[in-house]
Structure 1
Amino acid sequence: MTASDHRFPCDQCGADLRYSPDAGQLVCDHCGHREPVEDDARRTETLVELDYQATLDAMLPESEIEEIRQTRCTNCGAEFEMDEATHAAECPFCATPVVTGTGLRRRIKPRGVLPFALSEAEAHKAMTDWLGRLWFAPNGLKDYARKGRRMEGIYVPYWTFDADTTTNYRGQRGTVYYETRRVTRNGKTETVRVQRTSWRSVSGRVARVFDDVLVLASKSLPKRYTYALEPWDLSLLQPYQPQFLAGFRSEGYTIDLEDGLIEARKIMEQVIRRDAKFDIGGDRQRVDWLETRISTLTFKHVLLPVWLAAYRYRGKTYRFVVNGRNGRVQGERPWSAWKIAFAVGLVLAVVGGLAAGIGYLSALQQ
């Protein structure tokens, strides 16, 4: 596939169609013509997982690979698609001017896509409402965001991993008991109960089947932003079709499959450690050692929808992201120096007024 496969001409007038979150269809902004995205065969298609080891061994079928025309931002490192008619633009992640590249990149084709459910207007309102609740944000930035350019719809890349795991563990089971002691306080002797824990070494095995462990495959946005957009309802993933990308940009993955698995295993270990503690039982638990074996490991490359705004205000870039499904907002929290100074001054004035009032009342009483 090339970037041109994400452009779909209108059957009525020839203009480019775009995917409309409101209509759930391809819409022509020029003549109003609409076309459905899915046919009956694709609607019932199952999102098949790919074998992890076969992919590392370069045994992935050619049908699972695509070629894309991708542009790399020299400032933040983001890689995103630009159509063939666009030669210069701004990076949607940091607002840095970029010039389109000429090369094609081969990558694992997305298996699934979660289509946009929020329109640009709805996402923009969610962002400005969020900014409006930040009292210490600069008014100039709020106005700029409210009246500024449209937000960018970006499909952000993720990996999902499925795994069957078996884990051997060693740890300790703690049993709480109480001892009675006599202590002296303020010249008085009294009896108190003191809590103690008796520890006993244990070992065992736990099993866990993981389904759709989600890992961000991009370095463009801080994880604290993307994590704050969760949860994503992956049960609504659709089989990948380029029509869903019409009118939007798609970011290429910059975290490869092997590094994605490293992150996924960290997530799995947290769950496995919790399972081991539950298996240890007792009043308290310690896990000293874990050894996990993965018998089956598969993955998918999926695209999730994010509305993104990057504004340069007084020499600094502010980025805001909106979950394209539920409207959850996250971003860099802007601060207004004069608002903070005003608030501090107001607090000091109130405290000073209270102190003066107390002093006056004390003088009257004397």
Structure 2
Amino acid sequence: MFDEESHSLLVRGVAAAKANSREEAQYFLDRALKADPSLEDRVQAWRYLAQLADDPVEKRSYLEQILAADPTDGTAQRDLAILRGDLDPTDIIDPERPTAASESHGRAKSARFVCSQCGSSRVFFTPNGRLLECEHCHHTQPVHGSAQGAQVGERDFVATMWTARGHRTPQAMPSFDCDSCGASFLVAAGEVSLTCPYCGSIYTIEQVSARELLAPEAVIPFAFEQGDAAQRLQTWTRDQAIDVTLEPARGVFLPVWVLNFIGEIGWTGSGRDDETLGSGVNERISGMHTIIGQKVRVVGVRQAPGPVAATLNDFDLSGLRPYDPRLLAAWPTAAYDISLDEAAVMGRSQAITALRAEVLEGIGARIRDVALDFSRMAVDSFILALVPIWIAELRHGRSRFPALVNGQSGTVRAEIPRTGLSDWLERLLR
């Protein structure tokens, strides 16, 4: 049982801190820490001592002790981000008030890519990952500064979420909305026409709107061309033994939030400890599972095409390159409409599903009635990445269903009934 005296000392220290009696507060808080307090009281004492400390080194020490006890402590994470210079206190939003839309920043900046030989703006990034090729004269020019294997930096989640950037989007980019399916895409400068990769609608671009978007950190380039994507789809339909008509595949870059979770998962259960209890009596057992870099991928668009969740897991993230707008030349790029805070909620559900299986496997079958506590799990860092996907439509009579080809690995995913297309259609017509 923890000493009640330590809690009494803590209460007196907190009262002194609130009354701005610095020396008195430090005296009682230090005594409280030496009197064997509970972990909760210990964290509270560290928190007030951090507020009282003028020395940045001392303040950092208290904050780090709080985070050692609970890596998901949001207030300590925020204060440490301010201390490191990663977060400007003037940028912190009021969590009790909704985040207002930002004012227009005027005309959006964009990059224009032209052929160095003939001056044409119809240049595109080739799937070999190294060249920009002119659609008019076929002249090629190397793309420098985006080598595969270059370091892709993750952004601090806490510093972003304490500001409006995590709840809306702070960089103006030109975008275009498809009137047919509602999908939104980023538009390159000089682009005069666009084919929606979702529904195939063709547009001439007369006006674009500027949306407020976080710029991506990384991109995985397309590894093969449209003809190769069609060949992979044909092979897949042949292997599945289905008779369908293939529509031409359309390439698109999709935005993906890559979230990194850290923390601890507490667990309790009942089991027998035959070594210490010779009679094999059931007893309550508890433990902690440390989360080390659990990465989760959340698609950044609400109107995601077909089986996109499974397709995202096929990507090898070691192939990410630092973002370079030249890598997107002539490729449609979907604009995200799921904000970082929404993605964190969606990603948490995915992480819990994966970690639950991992923890239960580690515990083993001898422990039953296991209860898991995920309250000490949080996002530590994130990357906004663009990944390449070929979207095609498979037609059988009047029925259509989407198929996706991973633009990096070539893996095909499609929403097709396991019992076969003919049986499925037959049941629909009954």
Length-normalised TM-score, structure 1: 0.72
Query: Counterparts of 1:183-194 in structure 2 under 5 Å?
Result: none
Q: Name the counterpart of 1:349.
A: none
| Other structure's SS at 1:133 match | helix
Name the residue aligned to 1:354: none
Shift of 1:332: 3.8
Q: Can you list the C-alpha shifts for 1:99-134, whole angstroms capped at 9, x where unaligned?
A: 756311011100000111111111111112223334
Question: Which structure 2 residues correspond to residues 212-291 of structure 1 after superposition, within 5 A?
Answer: 212-221=295-304, 224-228=307-311, 230-278=313-361, 280-281=363-364, 283-291=366-374
Which of the numbers 395, 398, 411 marks the counterpart of 1:328? Answer: 411
Deviation string 1:205-234 (CA, Å, 9 cap, x unpaired) is 221112532222222335634414632110
Matched, 1:55 2:129: no
Match for residue 232 of structure 2 among 104, 122, 126: 126
Call closer, same or farther: CA 1:336–1:276 in 2, change over 3 Å.
closer
**C-alpha distance in 2 between matches for 1:134 and 1:10:** 43
In the TM superposition, what are the counterparts of 1:60-99 in structure 2 within 5 Å?
65-83=170-188, 90-96=195-201
Please tell me whether residue 115 in structure 1 is matched to residue 221 in structure 2: yes
How far apart, CA to CA, are the structure 1 residues paired with 2:424 and 2:164? Answer: 59
Rounded Cα–Cα distance in structure 1 between residues aligned with 2:309 and 2:319? 19
Report the Cα distance in structure 1 between the residues aligned to 2:134 and 2:197, rounded to whole angstroms: 24
* Shift in Å, 1:301: 0.3
AA aligned opposite 2:243: A
Identify the match of residue 170 of structure 1 among 238, 255, 268: 268
Secondary structure at the residue paired with 1:262? helix
Tell me by how many angstroms 1:278 deviates. 4.7
CA distance in 1, matches of 2:194, 2:138: 27
Residue 189 of structure 1 corresponds to which residue in structure 2? none
Greater displacement, 304-313 / 12-21: 304-313
| 2:211 match | 105
Task: Give the distance between the partners of 1:111 and 1:54, measured in 2 at CA.
Answer: 16
Query: How many pairs does the alignment contain?
Result: 309
Q: 1:24 to 1:205 in 2, by over 3 A?
A: same
The TM-score, its normalising length taken from structure 2, stands at 0.62
Q: 1:90 to 1:314 in 2, by over 3 A?
A: farther
Shift of 1:280: 3.7
Residue identity in the other structure for 1:52: F
Distance 1:200 1:132, change over 3 A: same
Q: SS at 1:231's partner residue?
A: coil
Maintained 8 Å contact 1:49/1:298: yes
Question: 3-state DSSP class of the match of 1:8?
Answer: coil
User: What is the one-letter code of the residue matched to 1:163?
Assistant: F
Aligned to 1:361: none
Structure 2 residue 96 is the aligned partner of structure 1 residue 13 = no
CA distance in 2, matches of 1:337, 1:3: 51
TM-superposed CA distance for 1:327, in Å, is 1.0
1:325-353 superposed Cα distances (whole Å, 9 cap, x missing partner): 11111224397769988xxxxxxxxxxxx
Q: Which has the higher contact order (CA 8 A, sep 6+)?
A: 1
Are the structure 2 counterparts of residues 160 and 229 from structure 1 closer, same or farther at C-alpha, using a change threshold of 3 Å? closer
| 1:129-208 equivalent positions in 2, closer than 5 A | 129-138=235-244, 141=245, 145=246, 149=248, 151-173=249-271, 200-208=283-291
2-structure distance, mates of 1:311, 1:96: 17
Name the residue aligned to 2:381: 298
Select between 28-37 and 218-227 the one with higher mean Cα deviation: 218-227
What is the CA–CA distance in structure 2 between the aligned matches of 1:72 and 1:254, rounded to whole Å?
A: 12
Structure with more of its chain in strand, by fraction: 1
Cα offsets for 1:265-303 (capped at 9, x unmatched): 122223432444355445344322314324761111001
**Secondary structure of 2:171's aligned partner:** strand
